[in-house]
Amino acid sequence: MKIGIFGGTFDPIHCGHLRSAEDVRETFALDRLYFVPAARPPHKNRADIASAEHRFKMVELAVADHPAFVASAVELERPGLSYSIDTIRHFLATDQPATLALMLGIDAFRDLPSWKESASIPALCDLIVTTRPGEELPPATAFLPVALQNAFWYDPAIRMYRHASGHFLTLHHIAGLSIASSTLRHLMQHGRSLRYLVPAAVEAYITNHRLYKAEECQR
């Protein structure tokens, strides 16, 4: 079984996340794609982040109608900060997939050297790095952060990077929707609709729980 992991804050999850995930699922023939909200993301310093429970519930609602998408609470169930390396090891141990791929945006990939046990991540799974919608692909020779340049070599025959472990790193252009969670939070703070930007069930959840309201201090 080919499994993908799509982690993030998802504050809130939106149609851009979902369209990108579907693009990756189809392109890489994934049998299952786990959406993994970070309970305590180590790289986020915002004090007003919605609770992990709210963010997980929104993800659960967003993916409920897709047979290959699964909301995973693994990082909510694990104490301490949410680290990708721990989540990768969890799925390798529990699902024992034939292949495991970590899906991450290009901005997150550029920060990968600062992640916990970052050198171990490409040794355990494939990496699918997605560009922002409308963003041009960077040249293959200029793509890797300096800290990762000795860990991979580019194979022009397959247009992928290879790792000594046998895993691959792929830069994938997303023809998706350019939506930012920060924009959605701004809209909610100003009483604007999120219709067609998030699934209807997610918009209803945000409204019913009064998330992202400027006057709300309860997150």
CATH number for the domain that contains residue 21: 3.40.50.620
Q: State residue 45's pLDDT score.
A: 66
Q: What is the pLDDT along the chain (219 residues), one digit of tens a residue?
A: 999 999 999 999 999 999 999 999 999 999 999 999 999 988 776 667 899 999 999 999 999 999 999 999 999 999 999 999 999 999 999 999 999 999 999 889 989 999 999 999 999 999 999 987 666 666 666 678 888 888 898 888 888 899 999 999 998 888 767 899 999 999 999 999 999 999 999 999 999 999 998 654 344
Contact indicator for 170, 158 with CB cutoff of 8 Å:
no
pTM: 0.91
Q: Examine residue 200 and state whether it is found in any structural domain, yes or no.
A: no
Return d(Cα 190, Cα 139) in angstroms, integer. 40
Q: Which long-range contacts (CB under 8 A, 24 or more apart) does 61-67 make?
A: 61/199, 61/201, 61/202, 61/205, 62/13, 62/17, 62/18, 62/35, 62/198, 62/199, 62/201, 62/202, 63/18, 63/35, 64/201, 66/22
Q: Examine residue 208 and state whether it is found in any structural domain, yes or no.
A: no
Q: State residue 99's pLDDT score.
A: 95
Contact indicator for 102, 84 with CB cutoff of 8 Å:
yes
Q: Which residue is associated with the tokens 């429970």?
A: 53
Helix (H) or strand (E) holding 23: helix 15-27
**Per-residue pLDDT reduced to its tens digit, 198-215:** 999 999 999 999 999 865
Q: Examine residue 104 and state whether it is found in any structural domain, yes or no.
A: yes
Q: Examine residue 89 and state whether it is found in any structural domain, yes or no.
A: yes
Q: Examine residue 198 and state whether it is found in any structural domain, yes or no.
A: no
Domain of residue 175, residue span: 2-179
Q: Examine residue 196 and state whether it is found in any structural domain, yes or no.
A: no
Q: State residue 27's pLDDT score.
A: 96
Q: Examine residue 60 and state whether it is found in any structural domain, yes or no.
A: yes
Q: Examine residue 126 and state whether it is found in any structural domain, yes or no.
A: yes
Q: State how many domains the chain has.
A: 1
